Amino acid sequence: MGKIVVELYADKAPITVANFLRYVDEKRYDGGKFYRVVRMDNQSTSPVKIEVIQGGLQSDSTKMLPPIPQETTNKTGILHVDGAISMARGKPESGASEFFICINAQPELDFGGKRNPDGQGFAAFGKVVKGMKVVRKIQKGETGQPGPTNAFSNPMQLLKNPVVITAVRRVK
């Protein structure tokens, strides 16, 4: 659908950036997908609404690395603003391969936010500097296909036609 260029903040979130770059350098994201979009119209089970697109390896465990420690926003100062890229997770310290990009400011994803009941928020580690039109186009994709359901995710958030990540590379 187009290129997305992100700037990573290794000085503020060194563990998360190093993890992401390992996936990039080892080409683990090549062939991955943007497979989940969260919009106001498809999260009826969540008491706290957000807007993000999520990508990564989804269920390809053969490419996944072990989880990393979580660098919370109260430690890094990197907030979930429009275009922020962040590590997806379930329980704390479980982030590994999956990431998301915020559409509009999402303060409920920061430390102390209410999207995750533990209040730890998510680990933002950079920001989109080119390609937000592509992000917004992905977010408008048709959703609703069989998949896992939990308190914060449901099949109505899964793209019917996931967007393939052809390649992720460092740009200098």
Percent of the chain beyond pLDDT 90?
Answer: 83
Residue 171 is assigned to a structural domain of this protein: no
Q: Which domain holds residue 115?
A: 5-165
Q: Residue 119: enclosing H or E segment and its boundaries? A: none
Q: Quick check: 86 and 74 in contact, CB under 8 A? A: no
Confidence of residue 100 (pLDDT cuts 50, 70, 90): very high
Sign, CA torsion 138/39/102/81: positive
Let me know: does 86 contact 123? Beta carbons within 8 Å: yes
CATH number, domain at 24? 2.40.100.10
Torsion angles phi and psi, residue 59, rounded to 5: -115, 10
Is residue 75 situated within a structural domain?
A: yes
Residue 72 domain-assigned (yes or no): yes
Q: What is the DSSP letter of 107?
A: G
The answer to whether position 86 is within a domain reads: yes
36 is a domain residue: yes
Whole-number pLDDT of residue 151: 46
Cα–Cα dist 82/105, whole Å: 5
Query: Is 15 inside a domain boundary?
Result: yes
| CA max distance for the chain | 42
Which of 169, 139, 10, 171 has its CA nearest to residue 78? 10
- Tally the domains of the chain: 1
Determine the pLDDT at residue 160: 92
Spatial distance between the Cα atoms of 112 and 115, rounded to a whole number of angstroms: 9
> How many CB atoms sit inside 10 A of residue 141's CB?
18
Three-state secondary structure call for residue 163: strand
pLDDT digits (tens, 9 = 90+) for 39-89: 999 987 788 999 999 999 988 889 999 999 999 999 999 999 999 999 999
- 25 within a domain of the structure (yes/no): yes
**pLDDT band with cut points at 50, 70 and 90 for residue 147:** low
Q: What is the pLDDT of residue 146?
A: 62
Record the pTM.
0.94
Other beta carbons within 10 Å of 160: 9
Averaged pLDDT of the chain: 93
- The answer to whether position 172 is within a domain reads no
Q: Are 81 and 87 in contact (CB under 8 A)?
A: no
